Amino acid sequence: MVITKKTAQKRIEALRSEILRHNHNYYVLNMPEISDFEYDVLLMELQALENKFPELITPDSPTQVVGSDLSNGEVPQEFEQAPHQYPMLSLSNTYDLQELTAFDERIRKTGASDFTYACELKFDGTAICLTYENGRLLRAITRGDGTIGDVVTQNVRTIPQIPSTLPSISGFDSKMRFEIRGEIYMPFSSFEALNAEREPENRFANPRNAASGSLKLLNPEEVRKRGLHCVLYQLLGENLPFDSHQAAMQTAKQLGFPISEYSKICHNLEEVMAFIRQWDEQRHQLPFPIDGIVIKVNELSIRELVGATAKAPRWATAFKFKAEEAHTRILSIDYQVGRTGAITPVANLEPVQLSGTMVKRASLHNLEQMRLLDVHLNDWVVVEKGGEIIPKITRVDVSKRDPNNCQLPQWPECCPDCGTPLVIEDDEARHYCPNQEGCPTQTKAWLLHFVSRKAMDIHAGEATIEQLYNQGYVQSLPDFYRITREQLLTLPAWKERSAERFLQSVEASKQVPFARVLFALGIRHIGETTAKNLVEHFKTMDQLQAADRETLLAVQDIGEVVADSMLDYFRTPRHQQMIKSLQQLGLQFQSTEAGWVQHSLALAGKTIVISGTFSRSRDEIKKLIQLHSGKNTGSVSGKTSFLLAGNEPGPDKVRKAESLGIPILDEDAFNALINSNNNTENQ
């Protein structure tokens, strides 16, 4: 078939639109809809069309620019942005060993000879650029769009492997300014522990998404808990004393940087291919995710000779492993109800071996995904493990479909547990059972969430909740505080000691701080961090319940979805009565944090944006604003009272404040403001 220029242009526009959407899902939202291989197929098709019709290439084509992870307002983030000293390019990649021969030939055509290759595992995480000066970590920036990135320094400092200060070593001035780049990743053990604490519908699909999402959390202490690791693989700076990548990495190791122990110098293409085949077989034995091998010219002089395109260096490429697949048949589909009421379809499969484990079930995510796959019962499907962990169905083998023995699955109109008609929100693909208190599965999951360690920490597991619910002793949250020893002793296998232990934990839970109580209520979209932010802002349940939509949206990390969820919850009479009952039973519904009592009204009615670094941490600055009756928000707008600018404030925020005529105060002026007249207005 002959492709005309008009046909090519139409297809190119469609491919660019689709690829940009997938870039946004992958880099910004950390919610990819397709596999890396499927994405690369789209990109290769676009590249082929542009090569055939070079006049149709545009500077903003996905083949010409780096995918961007910059914050853009669609996700609740508050990061400054800063430029990279050197462009942070992406890598070309291939799935075909024969294409490595062409890569090698292209390098040699430049006149390069007598060089070696540095081969490294391609860690499946999120790229990071660290800047050091005077022997200290100055800044950490994400890849962003390759030119500028989000500043995540405070979060990176929580990763134990990354040194904050550098030792003095011979042969390298560790006080000079330089950059070192690498990958932040999440080991399988951290990934599994993180997902075990999340509801099924909110679990990360793979370690890469978990690492990227964790790095963009606003609270560094939450980042610290995520178990992130780092590996560094490129050192950049002016007049560096190295002639090879290998020498640079040896120096980086002496400085205390985490360097991969799996690298190898290969003297020819045969050794490169042997290294690739070795790790394609052994990758499943690693405690962290990799998705390929990076092949780089080792000698820096040859790199300079070979050069780079606007998007990628010509002296490096990545060979990517195809995800391990298995073919099996769908026997049936279950529809599971989660704690929040979300309905998740799960396919029951003919058991099949995949990545060393027997796979019997795989998530189908939601109705939209089922329709996109065109799933039928008895279909043969391809199953792969996303990030080598979670089984997922990637496609249907329609060629094997038996029209006489296949059936289109029927999505339930009512909850499969309680029979309540399901609802679907306009902006979500998921269906929900709205009968939170009356749906047995949902109610038991809600009760189990309430007693969990990070919530009320009551000594009750799934089996205990099942007993208490089925016996009718606990049907709602206040029931935990009304149950008697005599009732407990009527349950099978319960003795005096187990009853006493349970009742003691119930009594102790009355001292659980307000933030954990709020999280324990199980309000949809309210996680641990969101609950903490709400309590820090409102201090008491009465103030929180009285907040309107605009007031809620002013709180850090609170977007429209969360605000609407809060309003819906608090306007429901049964929730109002339940909270009243829990208050009367002695639970904590106001902050007991030391020092939160309002200090003054110096900032009353003022909305303040902070930017840059200060003599105190950003959390301390935010608390001071709160203690003096002010409100902190993340972005400059017409409602901003002033911009509090520390060292190296975000240029975009400064420009916007200046354009709107909003005052810009430094830390000294801020201190003078909150300390003026001894701030005795409220005393």
CA nearest to 88, candidates 131, 31, 29? 131
User: What was the pLDDT predicted at 545?
Assistant: 92
CATH, residue 637: 3.40.50.10190
480 near 474, Cβ under 8 Å? yes
Q: 7 — phi, psi (to 5°)?
A: -65, -40
| 223-263 tens-digit pLDDT | 988 999 999 999 999 989 999 999 999 999 999 999 999 99
Inside any domain, residue 70: no
Instruction: Answer yes or no: are the C-beta atoms of 63 and 50 closer than 8 Å.
Output: yes
Q: Which residue, among 522, 576, 474, 578, has the nearest Cα to 340 in the 3D structure?
A: 522
Average pLDDT over residues 173-185: 95
The stretch 270-299 carries a mean pLDDT of: 93
Task: Mark whether 506 and 488 lie in a shared domain.
Answer: yes
**Tens digits of per-residue pLDDT, 296-323?**
999 999 999 999 887 789 999 999 988 7
Residues 310 and 183 in one domain: yes
Residue at 529 is within a domain: yes
257: in domain: yes
Same domain for 519 and 506, yes or no, is: no
Confidence of residue 429 (pLDDT cuts 50, 70, 90): low
Are 34 and 113 within one domain? no
Expressed in angstroms, the distance from the first to the final Cα of the chain is 84
Catalytically annotated residues: 122
Candidate from 40-54, 193-207, 223-237, 469-483 with smallest mean pLDDT: 193-207
- Which pair of structure tokens corresponds to residue 633? 């928000």
Q: Are residues 190 and 293 in the same domain?
A: yes
Q: Residue 390: what pLDDT?
A: 63
> Do the Cβ atoms of 93 and 36 come closer than 8 Å?
no
Bridging pattern class, strands 423-424 and 431-432: antiparallel
341 and 199 share a domain?
no
The CATH number covering residue 465 comes to 1.10.150.20
Average of per-residue pLDDT across 418-422: 93
Q: State pLDDT tens for residues 183-217.
A: 999 999 998 888 887 766 667 878 888 898 889 88
**Token code pair at residue 105:** 């030939």
Burial readout 57-68 (b: 16 or more C-beta within 10 A, e: otherwise): eeeebbbebbbb
Q: What is the mean pLDDT of the chain?
A: 86
**Domain C-terminal end among 320, 351, 377:** 320
**What is the DSSP code string of 174-240?**
TTS-EEEEEEEE--HHHHHHHHHTS-GGG--SSHHHHHHHHHT-S-HHHHHTT--EEEEEEEE-TT-
CB of 168 closer than 8 Å to CB of 174: yes
Q: Is 505 helix (H, G, I), strand (E, B) or coil?
A: helix
- Residue 594: pLDDT over 50: no
Residues 572 and 531 in one domain: yes
pLDDT of residue 339: 72
306 shares its domain with 450:
no
The CATH number that applies at residue 41 is 1.10.287.610
- Residues 379/329, Cβ–Cβ less than 8 Å: yes
Evaluate whether residue 90 is within a structural domain.
yes
Of 305, 320, 335, the domain-final residue: 320
CATH number of residue 232's parent domain: 3.30.470.30
Cα Rg, the chain, nearest whole Å: 28
CB atoms within 10 A of CB 676: 10
Residues in the chain, how many? 683
How many domains is the chain built from? 6
Which residues are paired to 328 by β-bridges? Answer: 381
- Kindly state whether residues 343 and 450 are assigned to the same domain: no
Are the beta carbons of 533 and 489 closer than 8 angstroms?
A: no
- Which own/partner contact pairs does 397-405 have at CB distance under 8 Å and 24+ positions apart? 397/327, 398/374, 401/376, 402/378, 405/378
Output the domain CATH number for residue 396.
2.40.50.140
- HSE on the CB side for 106, CA within 13 Å? 15
Burial letters 182-193, b for 16+ CB under 10 A, else e? bbbbbbeebbee
Q: Indicate whether 430 belongs to any domain.
A: no
Average pLDDT value for residue range 450-464:
90
Q: Do both 169 and 238 map to the same domain?
A: yes
Least confident span in 60-74, 87-101, 320-334, 664-678: 60-74
CA 516/CA 521 separation, integer angstroms: 9
Judged by DSSP in three states, 46 sits in helix
Six-digit token string for 307: 């050069």
Instruction: Report if residue 299 sits inside a domain.
Output: yes
* Euclidean distance between CA atoms 33 and 369, whole angstroms: 9
Domain of residue 484: give its range. Answer: 440-511
Q: Are 394 and 383 in contact (CB under 8 A)?
A: yes
Encoding tokens for residue 631? 């409100």
In a domain? residue 602? no
Output the pLDDT for position 36.
66
In the predicted structure, residue 74 carries a pLDDT above the cut 60: no
Q: Are residues 536 and 497 in the same domain?
A: no
pLDDT in tens, 569-593: 999 999 999 999 999 999 999 887 6
The helix (run of H) or strand (run of E) holding residue 12 is helix 5-23
The runs of H, that is alpha helices, within 289-336 are: 300-306
Q: What is the pLDDT of residue 161?
A: 92
349 Rama sector, left if φ>0, alpha if ψ -120 to 50, beta otherwise: beta
The answer on 527 and 465 residing in a single domain is no
Buried b (16+ CB within 10 A) or exposed e, 447-485: bbbbbbeebbebbbeeebbebbbeeebbebbbebbebee
How far is 99 from 269, CA to CA, in rounded Å? 11
- The answer for residues whose C-beta is within 8 angstroms of residue 45's C-beta and 6 or more apart is 11, 15
pLDDT at 673: 87
Q: Which of 424, 455, 490 is the last residue of a domain?
A: 424
Q: Does any domain span residue 74?
A: no
The string of pLDDT tens digits covering residues 534-579 is 998 888 898 899 888 888 888 866 888 889 999 999 999 999 999 9
Side-chain-side CA neighbours of residue 634 (13 Å): 17
In angstroms, rounded to a whole number, what is the distance separating the alpha carbons of residues 598 and 630? 10
Q: Give residues with Cβ within 8 angstroms of 563, minimum separation 6.
A: 549, 552, 553
Complete DSSP assignment for 119-137: EEEEE-SEEEEEEEETTEE
Residue 672: Cβ within 10 Å count: 10
